[in-house]
Amino acid sequence: MRRTSARMADGREIIYFDEDDTAPTRTAVDLRDLPPRDPRPEMRCDPFTGEWVGIAAHRQSRTYKPPADACPLCPSRPGRPSEIPESDYDVVVFENRFPSFAQDLPTTPSVVLERDGEPLVTSFPAAGHCEVVCFTSDHTTSFGQLPVRRVRTVVDAWADRTAALSEMPGVEQVYCFENRGEEIGVTLHHPHGQIYGYPFVTPRTARHLETAAPYLIENGRHLVGDILAAERAAQTRVIRSGEHWTAFVPPAARWPVEVQLVPHRPVPDLPALSNDERDEFAEIYLDVLGRLDRLYDRPLPYIAGWHQAPVRTDREFAWLRMELFSVLRGPDRLKYLAGSESGMGVWIGDATPEQTAERLRALG
């Protein structure tokens, strides 16, 4: 694989990941007349929960469901410049033009709410980083239809960017993810994902670590490792298993369709994966995605993302895993997060994890 870095017209970095080392050098120049970038994302801590909330009002003007011939993620062509100056590409990553978190922000916080001169809520600059990952130049395909080699290249790109973002000032956690389908909220249909460099450890990760840390200290074993060993022994919820990875429906799944892909050894993040582990993940993940699209005989909308260790803290307690879930509970039925889920955070499942796993196994 060859990696080439360049700059876009407004100064953002763009990186090409080419599978063929002998391919022509990437020399295309972004000639668009783009306005100066001045994103001002902020974050405020919810005084009731202690959780951070990001606010990025500038994202209201981001591109929304353009026609295919005006897709900003397709390669550029004469008279139709896009975010990618080249006429073709394998995998490309670039800085998000409408970031939820950004670098080089003003450092001065501002008080939003106070009582008797004491701040109750303060707004801080959301100093992180956001990138877009284009999986292919083909607008009409999907991640699940990519060849194994391309998925392997995407894994390498994820690992490369995780390592790079982990070195950026203020970034505390890196999240690589894909949103697929309008039911999820996708506004660009070109196959792509995103990478967030958060300026804090996310609430879900913090909660996971609060459970994993005492378990490891008390038992001398990782909680994820014990769950994985038990799932592989029981086989009740396992969909597919290999030498290095197992895909299974978690025993307390929240979503109508939910799958976790877990490596068989404790690695904290994507850069720590071996070549063999990356190779096998590509093959098993494509198999899982194929089953999911056959589940309702239609393209399944989903969110897929990597749970990685925080950049600087508690890495010894973390165990990398991919989580994929869908809001679809039937061919034409959505799982709405209504009163109990949205209001109280109490999830009600529409099928048992065992039933879901049995259906997915049968689709192999």
Going by the annotation, the residues of the binding site for Zn(2+) are: 71, 74, 139, 190
120 CB-near residues (< 8 Å, 6+ apart): 47, 113, 114
**β strands within 68-191, DSSP E:** 91-95, 110-115, 118-125, 129-134, 173-180
The most distant pair of C-alpha atoms in the chain lies apart, rounded to whole Å, by: 67
CB 62 within 8 A of CB 187: yes
Catalytic residue, from 192, 208, 222, 244: name it. 192
Radius of gyration of the chain (CA): 21
List of long-range contacts for 211-220, beta carbons under 8 Å, 24+ apart: 212/317, 212/318, 212/319, 213/314, 213/317, 216/316, 216/317
Binding-site residue ranges: 71, 74, 139, 190
Helix (H) or strand (E) holding 349: none
Classify the C-alpha dihedral 221-309-163-247 as positive or negative. Answer: positive
264 given a catalytic annotation:
no
DSSP string, 112-143: EEEETTEEEEEEEE-B-EEEEEE--S-TT--G
What are the percentages of helix, strand and coil residues in the chain, rounded to 5?
30, 25, 45
CB 147 within 8 A of CB 191: no
CA distance 98 to 54: 13
CB 73 within 8 A of CB 192: yes
CB 322 within 8 A of CB 305: yes
End-to-end CA distance of the chain: 31
Cα–Cα separations (whole angstroms), residue 309 to 94, 128, 171, 173: 23, 16, 12, 7
Q: Which residues are catalytic?
A: 192
